[in-house]
Amino acid sequence: MHLRGLLTTVSLSLGLSSAVVIPQSTQFVQTDSFFNVTKRQGSPIPYGLIITHCNVPNTVALTFDDGPFIYTGQILDTLSKHGARATFFLNGVNKGNIDSSHELVQRTLAEGHQLGSHTWGHLSLDTLSYNEIISQMTDLEDAFMRILGIFPTYMRAPYLMVTADVLNAMTALEYHVIGASIDTKDYENDHPDDSWRSFEKFRAELDAGGTIVLAHDSHQTTVEILVDNMLVEIALRGHETVTVGECLADPPEYWYRTSR
């Protein structure tokens, strides 16, 4: 079954639109309990190296860390209004809990957005041993498997803290490590009167050539003000808001897998 078929199945089960913008190149094989991505080697994007910029001209990748949370659905609504796609780096346990957010995670994938790992517990990876880093990733992989039957090949380290051990672990697990070239610092401006500071930082770093944007779906002001403003600004500049995978020209069949 194609990726479109899986997303349609998820969409219909939630009463959502089945429109999906991801190409139909990913193959799925139905098993007794979930759909398996046919694992294929050869992603053009390197594993275990920090990536901060898009490869595809005139694209910008909005990314949201720390979900799923109570505001995530509102961001999905705003993205839908603008016809935009984004990437969500999820935790297992943070402000929300992935195991109590199955429908929200399924909806995010079904609406054409990309899911990535932000580790299980949002711990600063530079404080952990190599084996603990591995566990932070594999525990979340298990949660994704419970919810979707697939898990991502993209990750972002909490606090952007990356060490040699982190990169070695991500290489071993075959993860693309995503940083940011635009950091909105929205967590410092989580009040309606201060949101303009994050927006001006976004504009300045966009002017400087930034293309991968770091924000959070756990902050109300980001959801209610900043996201819409960023989407309008991107469109005014003639750019397209896409997933990280798309902005790197990485074929969708490499975004997820079903086995380690």
Is-catalytic flag, 193? no
Q: Which helix (H) or strand (E) holds 138?
A: helix 130-148
Q: How far apart are CA 81 and CA 101, in angstroms?
A: 23
Q: How many CB atoms lie within 10 A of CB 186?
A: 28
CA dihedral angle for residue 38, residue 30, residue 85, residue 120, rounded to 10 degrees: -80
Q: Which helix (H) or strand (E) holds 89?
A: strand 87-90
pTM of the model: 0.85
pLDDT at 108: 98
Q: Is there a contact between 97 and 122 (Cβ–Cβ < 8 Å)?
A: no
* Max CA pair span of the chain: 52
149 three-state secondary structure: coil
What contacts 24+ positions apart, CB below 8 Å, involve 34-42? Answer: 34/145, 34/148, 34/149, 34/150, 34/258, 35/1, 35/6, 35/9, 35/149, 35/150, 36/149, 36/258, 37/150, 37/253, 37/256, 37/257, 37/258, 38/253, 39/257, 39/258, 39/259, 40/253, 40/254, 42/254
Q: How far apart are CA 93 and CA 237, in angstroms?
A: 37
pLDDT at 211: 99
pLDDT at 19: 31
Catalytic residue (one of 65, 186, 217, 250): 65
pLDDT at 34: 29
Please list, in sequence order, all residues whose beta carbon lies within 8 angstroms of the beta carbon of residue 135, skipping any fewer than 6 positions away.
Answer: 120
Task: Find, among 82, 80, 64, the residue nearest to 72 by Cα.
Answer: 64
Catalytic residue (one of 113, 122, 176, 216): 216
Burial class (CB in 10 A: 0-12, 13-18, 19+), 183: middle
Amino acid at 110: A
Q: Where are the domains of the chain?
A: 41-257
- pLDDT tens for the 260 residues of the chain, in order: 334 444 444 444 434 333 333 333 333 222 222 233 333 467 999 999 999 999 999 999 999 999 999 999 999 999 999 999 999 999 999 999 999 999 999 999 999 999 999 999 999 999 999 999 999 999 999 999 999 999 999 999 999 999 999 999 999 999 999 999 999 999 998 888 899 999 999 999 999 999 999 999 999 999 999 999 999 999 999 999 999 999 999 999 999 999 98
Is-catalytic flag, 65? yes
Q: Which helix (H) or strand (E) holds 7?
A: helix 3-14
Tell the CATH topology of 41-257.
Answer: TIM Barrel (3.20.20)
